[in-house]
A = this chain, B = another copy of it.
Amino acid sequence: MGITLGANQYGKAEVRVVTVDRSAARHVLRDLNVSCALRGDFTAVHLDGDNGHVLATDTQKNTVYAFARDGIGEIEEFGLRLARHFSSAYDWLTGARVEIEEYGWGRIAVGGGSHDHAFSRTGGEVRTTVVTVDGADAHVISGLSGLVVLKTTESGFAGFPRDRYTTLAETDDRILATAVTARWRYAATSLSTEPNEMPISDYAAAYASIRSTLLETFAVGYSSALQETLYAMGQAVLESHPEVAEIRLSMPNKHHFLSDLVPFGLDNPGVVYHAADRPYGLIDGTVVRDDVPSADLAWRATPGFC
């Protein structure tokens, strides 16, 4: 009966690394935010202040910059390189988690074409990956955040239970708006066979395709509830992407309330809305394959709801 050390991790968060590929006149720009965390035997530093097992977080930062010298590739590949390096660096290190955000840039339009080395940020949306290496296992969870979408019609909310505290009216036509955070786990996980290391084109192609699927599924059809839309979006991704084992979606309901203009002698047939900040609906869900084993380790330290 005593007090002991439980789960822990440490690392360097938010290393902002930007790379330029100048191998051709048409430069390629990459803009990343990299966070590393190591797992292993860190008992001595916690209990005795002995840093013998503590690969300095400053060293981790240096490693990110040094590895970037050879190019990033896709962020999933860069994460795997880093996570494998860290987890095999010393025998007391058993695993590593590398989380990467990538910010999008487009080429500036000049004279009917697009510029070779001048860029503008494409918006608030962020491409993400969380790579976890644990001994011989590797997990890759990719995703996006900040994808803000809105439908002006074809959304309703009705048939919900009414109790003492229910005042909400039913509706068959409302604005539906959300900011999508999606994280999908790729199926292959074994380091030895490395089946999850798709060729470089594949991570990018999968990202683009999954993003389009999410957007299209949000757009089409009638939404009876944000949960129905969430599930449909996840289901569509799994149906069209066999390489995806599961997908988690967090889609807060960003309420738009119809303004009451009656006091001013005006009607309001779905024209004027107030966009509210808080509170908002919290809608989180997972769509899974029933024949794929779960992978708790892959999600460790990732904000979630399971």
Q: Which A residues are closer than 8 A to B by beta carbons? A: 1-22, 27, 29, 31, 35, 37, 42, 45-59, 61-63, 65-66, 68-69, 89-90, 105, 108-111, 115, 117-125, 147-154, 157-168, 175, 212, 215-216, 218-220, 223-225, 227-228, 230-231, 235, 238-239, 246, 248, 252-253, 256, 259, 261, 263-266, 268-291, 300-301, 303-306
Contact B42 A227 (CB under 8 A): yes
Our pick among B54, B68, B279 for the contact of A13 (Cβ within 8 Å) is B279
- Which residues of B sit under 8 angstroms from A281, Cβ to Cβ? 10-13, 57
Closest 10 A-B residue pairs measured CB to CB?
A: A123-B123, A49-B224, A6-B286, A118-B219, A7-B306, A8-B285, A121-B148, A49-B228, A46-B231, A6-B288
Q: Which residues of B contact A48 (CB under 8 A)?
A: 228
Do residues B228 and A5 form an inter-chain contact, with CB atoms below 8 A?
no
Query: Do residues A167 and B62 form an inter-chain contact, with CB atoms below 8 A?
Result: yes
In the bound complex, residues from chain B placing their C-beta under 8 Å from that of A246 are: 6
Q: Chain B contacts of A168 at CB under 8 A?
A: 56, 58-59
Q: How far is the CB of A178 from chain B (nearest CB, A)?
A: 11
| Residues from chain B with Cβ under 8 Å of A266 in the complex | 66, 69
B18 touches A275 (CB 8 A): yes
CB distance from A271 to the nearest CB of B (A): 6
Between A and B, 7 residue pairs with Cβ closer than 8 Å are A3-B238, A6-B285, A7-B305, A14-B280, A35-B282, A118-B150, A118-B218
Chain B residue at minimal CB-CB distance from A71: B271
A58, B167: Cβ atoms under 8 Å?
A: yes
Closest-by-CB residue of B relative to A111 is B216
Nearest B residue to A265 via CB reads: B164
Q: Give chain B residues whose Cβ lies under 8 Å from the Cβ of A220.
A: 110, 115, 118
Q: Which residues of B contact A45 (CB under 8 A)?
A: 224-225, 227-228
Q: How many angstroms from the CA of A149 to the CA of B120 in the assembled complex?
A: 4
